[in-house]
Amino acid sequence: MSQSGLPLIGVVACNQQIGLHPFNIVGEKYLLSVVNGAKGFPLVIPSLGVDLPIDAILARLDGILFTGSPSNVEPHHYQGPISEDGTHHDPKRDATTLPLIKAAIDAGIPVFGICRGFQEMNVVFGGSLYQKLHDVGKYIEHSEDKKAPLDVQYGISHQVNLVAGGLLHDAWGCDTAEVNSVHTQGVERLGEGLQPEAFAPDGLVEAFSVKDAKNFALGVQWHPEWKVTENAFYTAIFEAFGQACRHHAATQVR
């Protein structure tokens, strides 16, 4: 917990080459969703691809947000086929997030995975991914029109059906919700120990939680960080995450 009383929430960075130098970067929308949605203070966790002092990191944080990204998890982590040429990967992020997710959940730190973060969680629990949903033949179009304005790309795309008794259903209080859809990959095989929280109309798993987690451990395939305060469903998700982070902070002696 920060001196201001706000929970400290780690936000995982991605790697990007800008000019001649590599940078660790986080989309501002994720930082603002922590501030405005979870009512916490964001701290960027760099993805350096080296051994992290995981225990020291977890001892100082009240929650971790695993963000979306332009990159995909390298398929060798889930025994998938080699990606097509030109696919954007971030091996340093893989080396950072995959062990960090498991350690955080085991330690009872609230965890929230969005898009790539959702896919990382599935991989950590032994699941696999479709690399191109539109090539599978049984799913609706889940990717965005990259030429459209951002408000269109991140606008509402389809409904999801929430699983009764699940974390999301309890947070929202309804059987369905409307979400955006900005992804080309998706769950092929659900990881062991994960339970579905929401399904797209085509049957694709769009959210899951960790069955035996000690605390909040949720992954969603859509992007609730987008203008979080303008969408009541997205707000409810981040409020539940923030509440879990505050509860965890209150139990710690630092």
**Whether 239 is catalytic:** no
* Token couple for 127: 């699941």
Kindly report the backbone phi and psi dihedral angles of residue 197, in degrees, each rounded to the nearest multiple of 5, phi listed first.
-115, -25
- Which of these, 102, 75, 101, 100, lies nearest to 89 by C-alpha position? 75
**Whether 74 is catalytic:** no
Number of H helices, E strands in the chain: 7, 13
Kindly report the backbone phi and psi dihedral angles of residue 251, in degrees, each rounded to the nearest multiple of 5, phi listed first.
-95, -5
Integer Cα distance of 240 and 235 in angstroms = 9
- Candidates 120, 225, 245, 248; catalytic one: 225
- Candidates 183, 223, 245, 248; catalytic one: 223
Integer Cα distance of 69 and 107 in angstroms = 25
- Candidates 115, 144, 206, 245; catalytic one: 115
In the three-class reduction of DSSP (H, G, I as helix; E, B as strand; rest coil), residue 130 is classed as: strand
**Whether 223 is catalytic:** yes
CA dihedral 118, 120, 121, 122 (to 10 degrees): 90
Active site (catalytic) residues: 115, 223, 225
